[in-house]
Amino acid sequence: MNKLSSVVCVGGGPAGLYFGLLMKKQQPDCRVTVVERNRPFDTFGWGVVLSDQTLGNLRVADSESAKLIGEAFNHWDDIEVFFKGRSVRSGGHGFCGIGRKHLLNILQERCMALGVDLVFETDVSDEHAIAAKYNADLVIASDGLNSRIRTRYENVFQPDIDQRQCRFVWLGTHKTFDAFTFAFEQTEHGWFQAHAYKFDGNTSTFIVETPEEVWKAHGIDQMSQEEGIAFCQKLFGKYLDGHDLISNAKHLRGSAIWIRFPRVICKTWVHHEDIQGKRTPIVLMGDAAHTAHFSIGSGTKLALEDAIDLANEFATGEDTDTVLQAYEARRSVEVLKIQNAARNSTEWFENVDRYTGMEIEQFAYSLLTRSQRISHENLRLRDAKWLEGYESWFAKGPAVPPMFTPYTVRGLTLKNRIVVSPMAQYSAKEGVPGDYHLVHLGARALGGAAMVMVEMTSPVPEGRITPGCPGLYTDEQEAAFKRIVDFVHAQSDAAIGIQLGHSGPKGSTQLGWEEIDEPLAQGNWPLVAASAVPYGEQNQTPAAISLQDMETLKQAFVDSTRRAAAAGFDWLELHCAHGYLLASFISPLTNHRTDAYGGSLENRCRYPLEVFAAMRAAWPQDKPMSVRISAHDWAPGGTEPDDAIEIARLFKAAGCDMIDVSSGQTTRDAKPVYGRMYQTPFADRIRNETGIATIAVGAISEADHANSIIAAGRADLCAVARPHLADPAWTLHEAAKLQSRAVNWPKPYLSGRDQLYREIARQQAMQASQAVVADAAPHEGG
């Protein structure tokens, strides 16, 4: 074991206290000191929330304090949502509430019982002095959200502090709620929401939140503390049953009790200082290192789990540097997962107005799944009866998983909500799709998806990405595509669509299995783009396309559109994303034009809109058209989500039926923030702010993801790429998994052949499951 002689925790919140008691328990001979600026047993705030899972972690780490905390908790399973005069209640959520003061009291008493030195009413302005006083081997900076230590070494820790958009006030009330309660009230200036939960026998936390502009419009910023509380009490009076709202922050004046939540992310958590000739590590923990919005209730959880993790690392016996590196590496990843979920949750509450057109059933579902951590099947585990009722409401009939509900747009009805996303295959010869494409697309059409999409296909030879990419500018190409379309229509009930696009500055590159995005070794063709901006230093610099060539290319798009109609395609998509030619007009990173097609966003969209309008006029009116856009360039100065809203509105006005929402790939300098369903929030925002239907795409790899997206109204269709590439029958296999979990739905939602294939897949899944059980059985109890 790595022996420490002295540890100092600066800050006596949950992180400092819990790490102190865990280290003292682990190394009784180590002197552990927790220094706190407030008085003994003094704290501000009301209740805190922990999940059942976190409480389980506490039991493993220190059963004695966990027992006391567990006995003090008020436990509830239900969440109740009040909206537009109605309420929805679901169960099985497993929360625990405890007063913050009571929690700290338990930890303080446990520290004292173990021999931790608690030093109160000491404001640490110099961590060097306090470390020197106690001859510390380790300093834990657990000094909270406004950490002085973090600020002092901000050049090392590099904190990124984002002040969020809503104002909130943390109040209490003696009205006791029997469920975690979300209440939404509309005023003449906008929406307010309350988050309320009981944390002891006669007291509840009552947080009121609203966008800053709504808060200011009501003049709350000019009110006294008492006036602001009275405003909230009147607005939410029907939920309080005559009880008052109470503040325990009387030391703050006026509207200072209303704050904006600061999201804190630090690049590094460990710093070393020379203190009295000793290299002493200073380590961030809890809110000093990170914050997660209160709407997912994880601030205290993260602090306690930081303490558990670091204490466990010291128990390995490794040297201190190795311990601290492992702590930072693991916890920073775990915290990032929570912060990503918290970001989604925060943005949901910041934009409640986006969802207020929904009925309460979908509004509540959207709220429950807002972080994207709680999924459709997770809700089934929590409250199967409630979810089945929601599925029935969504399907307008017998309950069916949302991804298997049909969807109609113009004259086309898709049998379900799954689309095989267009994926470059690099297998065409002179732009002509062959037997490979017949098998590739045909197999996926038989795999249960509602529609298969052909990869980006160019209207001109020089618009291909690579020599292996398809085109639609010759009779031979048209005939080859018709062969594929006819097969799909004859042998399946899937629809088939084609995506037309021009590679622009990203053309004349090698096949995907060679050096992707790199220029050809020989035989490169000239490139054009909105401006003479190369995709990367190693790529060709394209010529800025002339007005005359723009007209010629527009006509080529129209000609390809007519060929697509003649080939029998059901759906047409225009590619305006990922830095290709039309996207190069839209992004300010690639459009430096000074004519009518450059400058403002409206001007930058002008040419893509002209192309779209000309194609729409040539495409049959009873068939849908979509447009793929990059909702975020993920690079400074590029397209942002706010721009995507306006782009979607412009295409909607031009007659677009659906926006296929992707992001990135405009520049090699892009730095996307990846994660499961990471692009879905863009589709959600576009759909619910502009009223145009959307396709979600990107890291959607399970039926659970698709069901959650569709059920919550974040998108209308889900485009699944890599999973369908690996498994042509992905949709049927996911259906089989759902059925194997005893999820049943009416047979009309699957065609005869789909039912046959699903039954085969279901039997395979059951056999595999039985094999696993049989293999595991001898080891039970071992």
- Chunked into runs of 10 residues, the chain (782 residues) has average pLDDT values of 88 96 96 91 72 87 93 88 97 86 93 96 92 96 95 96 95 94 98 94 94 98 96 98 92 89 95 94 97 87 96 95 96 91 93 97 97 92 96 95 97 98 96 97 97 98 97 98 98 97 96 91 95 94 98 98 98 98 98 98 98 98 98 97 98 98 95 90 97 96 96 98 94 86 53 57 48 28 25
Pairing of strands 159-173, 245-246: antiparallel
Q: What is the DSSP string of 225-271?
A: HHHHHHHHHHHTHHHHTTPPEE-S-TTS-GGGG-EEEEEEEES--EE
Helix, strand, coil percent values for the chain (each to nearest 5) = 45, 20, 35
Rounded Cα gap, residues 171 and 82, in angstroms: 19
Amino acid at 452: V
Name the region of 88 (left: φ>0; alpha: ψ -120 to 50; beta: rest): beta
Rounded Cα gap, residues 23 and 21, in angstroms: 6
Residue 130: predicted pLDDT:
95
Structure tokens at 382: 């929590």
The Cβ of residue 592 has, within 10 Å, a number of other Cβ atoms equal to 13
- Does pTM top 0.75 for this prediction? yes
Rounded Cα gap, residues 371 and 348, in angstroms: 8
Residue 748: predicted pLDDT:
43
Torsions phi, psi for 580 (to 5 deg): -70, -175
Residue 299: predicted pLDDT:
87
Rounded Cα gap, residues 201 and 325, in angstroms: 43
Catalytic machinery residues: 580
Residue 753: predicted pLDDT:
59
On the 0-12 / 13-18 / 19+ scale of CB atoms within 10 A, 455 is buried
Amino acid at 367: L
Classify the C-alpha dihedral 9-15-18-24 as positive or negative.
Answer: negative
